[in-house]
Structure 1
Amino acid sequence: MSTKRGEAMTRIDEEAWTPFEPSPDDPWDLRKVARLHRAAGFGANWAELRRDVAAGLAESVGRFFHPLDPSDEEQAIREGLRSGAVGSSDPRRLRAYWLYRMLFGSDPLRERLTLFWHGHFATSLAKVNSVSAMAAQGEALRERALGDFAGLLGAVTADPAMLVWLDGGTSKRGRPNENYAREFLELFTLGRAAYSEADIREAARAFTGWTPEGGRRTPDDGNPRFAFEEEAHDGGSKTFLGQAGNWKADDVVRIALEKPEAARHLAGKLYRAFVAEGADPEPELIEPLADVLRSSGYSIRRVMEVILQSKHFYSAAACRRRLKSPVEYTIGLLRMLEVPRSKVNLLAAATACGRQGQELFAPPNVKGWEGGTTWINSSTLLERLNWASDVVWGNPDYGVPPFDLVAWADNHGVKPGEAAGIFINLLLQGDLANEARDLSLAAGRDGDTTSLRKSLQRLLHCPEFQLS
C-alpha cells in the first residue's frame, strides 16, 4: 500500500464510527431504517419502517435503548411460558419461550445481544442437562446484555450452568480444573496468542472454590446449585499476565480486561455479529471500537450506540454483509410479516431453527456457532426455504396456518394490486436484481391471494433476503 493510499485509508477508518448525518445525496431512508432493525433486532414490519423513516435517525436508534416497559399482561404471559418450560423440564418449551420474547417483545436489541452472549459463552444442555439452570443463565445474560462486560464475566464465572459446563464446580485448591480458565482467556476475553499456558494454570487457581451444595452436583430437582467455600479456594500468590498477587476470580477478570487484546477481541466479535462478516476487518477499523470499550469501562451499551449511529454501519460497504443466523431468519420473517400471536406455532419455529443449524441452548461446542457461510449448505438452505414456504402457504403437519394476505393488506390499507410492490420494499428495500424484481411483480400482478403468495415466496428465495 502506498503512503498516500495508506493515509487515505486511515482517514476513512478514523471517520467510520462518527455519527451518520443524512444529506440530500445520502438520505435517511427505508433502506437505512430496515438496516437498523435487522441488526439491532429481528426486522421491522411495514408500519415500523414508515414510522422510523419519518422519525429520523436519533429517534429511531433511541427506541432500541429506551424500549417501552411490557404491560402486566405481557409480563404474565412471559412468566407463564418460562415457568411452564422450567416446570416441564422440556428444552423445546424453553426455546419456545425465548423465541416468543424475540418475536413479540418490546426490547429487541436486548434479545439480539442475549443471543450474541449465548453464542459467546456457548453453554449447552448437552452437558448441563438442566432446563432450569439454562433458563437461569439465559435470564442472567439478558439482564446484563447491555451492561459492563466485567460484570457480565463475573456473573458467568459464578453461573451454575457454566460451573457444570466447564467443570468449575469441581475445581478445588490443589486440584484446579483448567477448562474454564482456558476458555475464559481464548474465547471470552483475549483470543489466542495473548496468554501462556502458565497464565491458564494461574487463572485456574484463582477460579477455585465453588462446590456443589450438599455435595451433590445434580440435586433431585435437577437444578445444580453451588456455594463458594474459602477452604476450597486457592488463596496463594499467583502470577497472572505478568501481575503477582493473591488473586481471586474478580482479579483475573480485571487484569484480563486491562490487556489491549481484550477490547480488540470483543470489538471484533461485535463487529462481525452486528456490522459485517467476511474477511477480518482492518485493525484500523476495530481499534476505535476497542477504544470506546476501554474508555467507557467496557460498556456494551455505549459501544452499541456508537455502532448503530455510525457512518460505517449505514454505508454500502457494510449493508447486507452478514448471513442471517437461523434464529434471525426464522423470527425475522414472522416479525416482518406481522404474523398474529394466535397464528404462530413457537414449537414449530424452534424446530425450524434447529433444522437450519441453530438449536438454542445447544451450541455445537465451546466456540459456539461459527456463523457466516457455515450457516448455508445444501441441507440448511433447503430448510430455510421450507420455512419460508410454511409461513407463506401454511403447513398443517406442523400446525402452521397460511399467511393471511387479505388481513395484512387491510391492516395497512394496501390495495391488492399494490401488495407485490410493497413486499419488495418491506423485505428487501429494493436490494435485489432487476430480473428478480420483475419476476416477483409479474407473479403478483393479478392481486389475488394465490398470486401474491407466489410473489412473496419469490422474494423470500432471493439470495439478498438471506443477508442482514
Structure 2
Amino acid sequence: MATARLLHRFNFGPTPGQYENLLAHGLAATQSTVLMHGIDDPGIDTVKPLVLGDLGPFPQGNTPKTTAFWKRIGKDSSDLVMWWLDRMVAARYPLSERMTWFWHGHWATSISAVTYPLAMKKQNSTLRTFALGNFEDMAREMVVDGALNVWLNNNENYVQAPNENLAREFMELMTIGVNHYTQNDVKAAALALTGYSTDQSNGNVTFNPKEHFSVPLGILGATGVFDAQSLAKLVVSRPDNVKFITDRMWFRFVSGSTSAPSSLATSFEGRDIFSLVSALVHSSAWTDPANTLVKAPVEWFVGACRALKVRPSSLNADDTQWLLSQMGQVPFSPPNVGGWTYGTAWLSGVNYQYRFQLAQNIVAKANLAPLDVQPLDMVQACANWLGVPAWSRRTENALTLSLATPSELALAAILSPEYMVSP
C-alpha cells in the first residue's frame, strides 16, 4: 500500500513496470525514487518547448485585428495547457511537476482574469523554480508575480484608494491562515503593496517609489516601512506559517479526514519545502488505511496517461480541455482564489460520464503491451501496471468480464474505484 500511495500522491502514478520493480526493491527504494528532483530529466527533454509572444494591449473596436487577437489568445491558452500536461506525463522524475501543480492550486490564479497566457506561463515557471525550495523565497517572488497581482487587483491599489484584495488573500489563503491577522493588518499590508504595477500582456511588474506608501506601518506586531518583499518576509516568519503550510500539504497529499501530527511541523521550521515533502514521504502515514484520497481530474488524467504511455498532445486538445472543464478542473483555470475543492465531489455521477469519455480517448491511443499475458493473469497484470495494491471482489469480477478485449479491460481498470481513489 505504501509504495502505491507514494507513487500516486507524489509522482502522479507509476509508469509501466515501475510499481512491480519498486515493490521488489522495498519501501526505501520507493521513497528515494519519488523524491528525485533537480537533475536533468530526459522525459521533460522530449516535450517541445513552448514559446509565447507578448501580444500587447487589447485591441480596440470590432475589427479583423480584434478577431485575430482573441483567436491567438485562445490558441496560446490551449497550447499552454497541453504543454504543461505533456510535462507532467513525460517527466521521468515527476516530483517537480507534481509540486508545481500543488503550488498552482495554492497560489491559485486563473487565466480567466489574467487573460494573457504569457503572464500565466511566467508564473508557472516561478512556481517550478521554487516548488521544492525555500518558502520565504517563493513568497517574496509570488507577492510581486504579475499574474497574481492582476488576478487579485493589485494594479488598482493606490495610496489614496487602497485595494486590500492581495494583502488579505496573501495572509489568509497563502501564508498564515484565517484568524491569524486583523483587519488593521490587512489595511497596513495593502499600503505596503502600493507602488507596484503590472504590464498585463507579459506579466512584468515594476515598482514606482513615488506611488508607494513610505511611512512606517504596524503589521502583525512589527513596525517599519514595508514593501512587498519585507512584508512577505515578515508574514512568513510568523510561527502560524509553519502550521498553515504543513497542514495544507498534509491535506493535499495525505488525508482530508485525519490531522497532521505536530511533529511534522518541525521539518518546516526553516521554511524548506523539500524537507517537509521528505518528512511526509518518510512518515508512517502511508500504512494507515484511513488516509485515502480521491484523485482530482487532472491527477487522474495524468496518471492514466503515464501508465498507458499516451502523450496528452496526441489527443484532441479541444476535446481534452472541454472534458476536463466538465469534470471541474483545467490547468490555469482554478474557480477562485481558494483553488479547487478536493474530496468525494470528484466522484459524482455527472463527473463520471465525462471521465468515461476522456478515458475512452486515452485508451484509444494507449500502449496495451503490459496486458500481453495469459488471460488468467490479465487482471493482476492490470493491478501491477496501474499501481493498484488489490482489486475488490466486485471490481475483479467486472474486469474479468473484459478479458477478451484488452482495450475494454484497460478502460474498466482506469475507471475503477481502486484507481480513481488513491489507496
Q: For this structure pair, what is the TM-score category when the shorter chain's length is used for normalisation?
A: 0.7 to 0.9
Q: Residue 270 of structure 1 aligns with which residue?
A: 249
Q: Match of 2:174, SS?
A: helix
Structure 1 433/162 Cα, relative in aligned 2: closer, same or farther at 3 Å?
Answer: same
Q: Residue 425 of structure 1 aligns with which residue?
A: 384
CA contact (8 A) 1:307 1:313 kept: no
Structure 1 99/149 Cα, relative in aligned 2: closer, same or farther at 3 Å?
Answer: same
Deviations 1:227-285 (A, max 9, x none): 1121111111111111112222223222222333221111111011111123xx34xx3
**Quick one: distance in 2 between partners of 1:187 and 1:341?**
31
Supply the AA of the counterpart residue of 2:194: T
**Quick one: distance in 2 between partners of 1:77 and 1:467?**
28
1:396-407 residue pairs with structure 2 within 5 A?
401=365, 403-405=366-368, 407=369
Alpha carbon RMSD of aligned pairs, Å? 2.4
Q: Does 1:191 pair with 2:191?
A: no
Q: Residue 415 of structure 2 aligns with which residue?
A: 461
**Quick one: distance in 1 between partners of 2:82 and 2:134?**
28
CA contact (8 A) 1:78 1:101 kept: no
CA contact (8 A) 1:160 1:225 kept: yes
Structure 1 56/274 Cα, relative in aligned 2: closer, same or farther at 3 Å?
Answer: same
Q: Does 1:438 pair with 2:406?
A: no
Supply the AA of the counterpart residue of 2:225: N
**Quick one: distance in 2 between partners of 1:208 and 1:125?**
23
Supply the AA of the counterpart residue of 1:51: N
**Quick one: distance in 2 between partners of 1:153 and 1:374?**
30
1:304-315 residue pairs with structure 2 within 5 A?
304-315=277-288
Number of corresponding residues: 403
CA contact (8 A) 1:96 1:347 kept: no
- Per the TM alignment, residue 344 of structure 1 is displaced from its structure 2 partner at its CA by 4.7
**Quick one: distance in 2 between partners of 1:77 and 1:460?**
24
1:1-400 residue pairs with structure 2 within 5 A?
31-67=1-37, 68-71=39-42, 75=45, 77-79=47-49, 82-83=50-51, 88-89=72-73, 90-212=76-198, 217-218=199-200, 222-278=201-257, 281-282=258-259, 285-294=260-269, 297-318=270-291, 321-339=292-310, 344-345=315-316, 348-392=319-363, 394=364
**Quick one: distance in 1 between partners of 2:322 and 2:91?**
20
Q: Match of 1:239, SS?
A: strand
**Structure 2: gaps (5+ residues):** 56-71
CA contact (8 A) 1:86 1:135 kept: no
Supply the AA of the counterpart residue of 2:221: G
CA contact (8 A) 2:370 2:381 kept: no
CA contact (8 A) 1:94 1:135 kept: yes
Q: Match of 1:188, SS?
A: coil
**Quick one: distance in 2 between partners of 1:442 and 1:375?**
26
**Quick one: distance in 2 between partners of 1:340 and 1:249?**
40
- Per the TM alignment, residue 424 of structure 1 is displaced from its structure 2 partner at its CA by 2.7
**Quick one: distance in 2 between partners of 1:33 and 1:247?**
46
Structure 1 463/84 Cα, relative in aligned 2: closer, same or farther at 3 Å?
Answer: same
Deviations 1:341-360 (A, max 9, x none): 89555554333322211021
**Quick one: distance in 1 between partners of 2:94 and 2:54?**
23
**Quick one: distance in 2 between partners of 1:258 and 1:433?**
47
Q: Match of 2:285, SS?
A: coil
Supply the AA of the counterpart residue of 1:379: V
Structure 1 351/195 Cα, relative in aligned 2: closer, same or farther at 3 Å?
Answer: same
Q: Match of 2:223, SS?
A: strand
**Quick one: distance in 1 between partners of 2:52 and 2:233?**
38
TM-score if structure 1 supplies the norm length? 0.80
**Quick one: distance in 2 between partners of 1:380 and 1:347?**
18
**Structure 1: gaps (5+ residues):** 1-30, 395-400
- Per the TM alignment, residue 465 of structure 1 is displaced from its structure 2 partner at its CA by 1.9
**Quick one: distance in 2 between partners of 1:409 and 1:376?**
27
TM-score if structure 2 supplies the norm length? 0.88
**Quick one: distance in 2 between partners of 1:122 and 1:342?**
24
Q: Percent identity?
A: 29
CA contact (8 A) 1:420 1:456 kept: no
Deviations 1:290-339 (A, max 9, x none): 22211xx2111000001011111333232xx1110110111111111223
Q: Match of 1:46, SS?
A: coil
Structure 1 38/252 Cα, relative in aligned 2: closer, same or farther at 3 Å?
Answer: same
CA contact (8 A) 2:12 2:302 kept: yes
Q: Match of 1:106, SS?
A: coil
Larger mean CA deviation between 383-392 and 180-189 belongs to: 383-392
**Quick one: distance in 2 between partners of 1:292 and 1:119?**
22
Deviations 1:141-165 (A, max 9, x none): 0111001111111111111111211
Supply the AA of the counterpart residue of 1:460: I
**Quick one: distance in 2 between partners of 1:383 and 1:362?**
18
**Quick one: distance in 1 between partners of 2:397 and 2:389?**
12
Higher RCO, Cα 8 Å, sep 6+: 2
Larger mean CA deviation between 110-119 and 337-346 belongs to: 337-346
**Quick one: distance in 1 between partners of 2:90 and 2:247?**
30
**Quick one: distance in 2 between partners of 1:76 and 1:459?**
28
